[in-house]
Amino acid sequence: MSLPLDDLYREIILDHYKQPRNRGELEPHTVRVEGNNPLCGDEIQLDVILADGDLQDVAFQGRGCSISQASASMMTEAVKAKPVEDVRQLIETFKGMMHGQPVDTEDLGDLEALEGVQKFPVRIKCALLAWTTLEQALQEAKAS
Amino acid sequence: MNVAQIRKDFPIFERKVNGKPLVYLDSAATSQKPLAVIEALDHYYRTYNANVHRGVYSISEEATEAYEKARDKVQAFIGAARRESVIFVRNTTEAINLVAYAWGRANIGAGDEIMLSEMEHHSNLVPWQLLAAEKSAVLKHIPVLDDGTLDMDEARRLVTERTKLVAVSHMSNVLGTINPVQELARLAHSAGAVILLDGAQSVPHMPVNVQELDCDFLAASGHKMLAPTGSGFLYGRVELLESMPPFMGGGDMIRQVWLDHATWNDLPWKFEAGTPNVADMIGLGVAVDYLQSVGMQAIREHEKQLTAYTLGTLGELELVDIHGPRDPEIRGGAVSFCYADVHPHDLAQILDGDGICIRAGHHCCHPLMRKLGVSATARASFYLYNTEDEVDLLVKSLTKAGELFGVPAPARA
């Protein structure tokens, strides 16, 4: 595989794609949101349980490319059992990384592997799908 | 038809992508341009750029002549009886919207029926949804059968005396299916309905004669037939176009204007408001010349061969699911497929690493994707400049993608 593609399809991404974490549905859930990638072909459903200022649990369903699914899987691992404020911060950090801003990758864990997506601008939307959907979920939970 | 010679006419094929030759398999999205078309744009802007239809001075006269000559070329290309039938627009989508606005709003009423199909591109679906919602009209859809063809028995059942319009794809951009549009025209006309054909995929790839097809409207994109982006046309029966109110109002589509009303220009200009894409339409005329010099039947034969070859070699790969009819006689050069559970985005990405351009996604056919039960497909589409070698490269690159994503090694039949 050519070097740039090496950067995109790192081992850990393929691992999350083949064995996604936190796949499924949560019944009951605080909020359920569906998201679609404008680069068509990726869909996601996110179930979130929020309580006492924490994102207690999260699960995702959907069909999509390796980048969208791996990103969703990695995201659920990173946000589970975290305070909502930390989750909001993480969303901003990840979005920043995708758009080429220098970020502190210490708290990102596996998510750091998605840094290579920057080199493939069209696929940034794939990586962001789960995150924009999560953002929407937090928005909707706050509103209700 | 000498493909090697034809390829030399297209400068873009000198380009390398990721160090590999450009293998362009997305002509269904847009086509590459021959040097003659590129030079025509350059020549216009360098030597006779001027607005059309109004100027007295020489270069305006030259621009007008070139623009109107392009119209004559398109008229001849599609076998239209009169040049007044050829309206220049930006693309197929605009052509269909023109009909929806100008013909639809004056002719569709509450309870009237519009017959479409399950395989329509959004551009031949959404305008009719908007119209139906506004007018309380009813939309019906001819189902697509498992083999990728239209259920014509059901089509005959769906047509009633309330059917006012039948709007269908001439050639599917996903399945490649060439629909039996002459039969559909007979069906429409016997019910007193009008028929519109979405010719975006057919006009560039096969001989199309509007009188033989007996269609009332035909929409097409110039940019899919070697012409610049921004070029396209609508063919309409003169009597229909005469009876229709205008689409856009403004300069050039009027005869006389007072403060509170205006009278309309003759056809075709009644439907060409404002300054047109002069350069792009001149480019369209040159594209038509090029296609005529190769011959549309020759192009059709070439694509049939390529499609047959692809259905064979691609079809041999285990775990490849090809959509659409198996018979190259009734299908065009758009081949949509799924490969194991490797997502089309990932397929397209790996192929890009090898310089190969395919399309991944919904191809602007969400309802068809749902019908096929897939969230996305990959699509390779061919034109006069593609070769069997390129198909071999496609297959090779696909197996590479398969390896990366853990697809069991393909066994050739």
CATH number assigned to the domain comprising residue B389: 3.90.1150.10
Is pLDDT at A2 greater than 70 in this prediction? no
Task: Estimate the crossing angle of helix A66-79 against helix A84-98, to 10 degrees.
Answer: 150
Please choose, from the candidates B284, B322, B295, B224, the residue with its C-alpha nearest in 3D space to the C-alpha of residue B2. Answer: B295
- Inter-chain touch A65–B346, beta carbons under 8 Å: yes
The b/e string for B144-165 (b: 16+ C-beta within 10 A; e otherwise) is: beeebbbeeeebeebbeebbbb
Identify whether residues B375 and B331 lie together within a single domain: yes
- Residue matched to tokens 């920043």: A96
The mean pLDDT value for B375-394 works out to 97
Is pLDDT at B56 greater than 70 in this prediction? yes
Identify whether residues B214 and B255 lie together within a single domain: yes
Average pLDDT score over chain B: 96
Rounded Cα gap, residues A90 and A94, in angstroms? 6
Last residue in a domain, options B257, B274, B292: B292
In chain B, residues with a C-beta closer than 8 Å to the C-beta of A116 are none
Chosen from B122, B173, B336, B349 to mutate, greatest number of chain A CBs within 10 A? B349
Q: Which of residues 4-63 of A touch B (CB under 8 A)?
A: 4-5, 8-9, 14, 18, 39-43, 63
Looking at residue A67, its pLDDT comes to 96
Closest Cβ–Cβ partner in A14, A18, A41 for B345: A41
Q: Does B190 reside within a domain?
A: yes
Q: Which of B215, B338, B364, B365 is catalytic?
A: B364
Contact B232, B220 (CB under 8 A): yes
Condensed to tens digits (0 to 9), the pLDDT of residues B110-129 reads 999 999 999 999 999 999 99
In chain B, residues with a C-beta closer than 8 Å to the C-beta of A120 are 349
Identify whether residues B317 and B288 lie together within a single domain: no
Answer yes or no: B364 catalytic: yes
Domain ranges of chain A: 3-139
- Work out how many domains chain B is built from and give that number: 2
Which residue intervals of B143-193 are DSSP H helices?
152-158, 181-190
Identify whether residues B316 and B284 lie together within a single domain: no
Helix (H) or strand (E) holding A19: none
Looking at residue A4, its pLDDT comes to 77
B290: exposed, middle or buried (C-beta count within 10 Å: 0-12, 13-18, 19+)? buried
Identify whether residues B14 and B76 lie together within a single domain: no
Is pLDDT at B216 greater than 50 in this prediction? yes
Is pLDDT at B409 greater than 70 in this prediction? no
Looking at residue B410, its pLDDT comes to 53
Looking at residue B375, its pLDDT comes to 84
Query: Where residue B57 sits, what CATH number does that domain have?
Result: 3.40.640.10
Task: State how far residue B401 is from chain A, nearest Cα, in angstroms.
Answer: 9
Chosen from B16, B17, B343 to mutate, greatest number of chain A CBs within 10 A? B343
In chain B, residues with a C-beta closer than 8 Å to the C-beta of A124 are none
Q: Does B413 reside within a domain?
A: no
Which pair of structure tokens corresponds to residue A64?
């999509």
Condensed to tens digits (0 to 9), the pLDDT of residues A66-108 reads 999 999 999 999 999 999 999 999 999 999 999 988 888 777 8
In chain A, residues with a C-beta closer than 8 Å to the C-beta of B17 are none
Condensed to tens digits (0 to 9), the pLDDT of residues B63-112 reads 999 999 999 999 999 999 999 999 999 999 999 999 999 999 999 999 99
Is CATH 3.90.1010.10 correct for A3-139? yes
Identify whether residues B223 and B84 lie together within a single domain: yes
Identify whether residues B288 and B304 lie together within a single domain: no
Domain that holds residue B349: 3-26+295-404
Identify whether residues B96 and B124 lie together within a single domain: yes
Residue B243 Cα distances to A105, A137, B106, B326, angstroms? 66, 52, 9, 42
- Residue matched to tokens 């919602």: B133
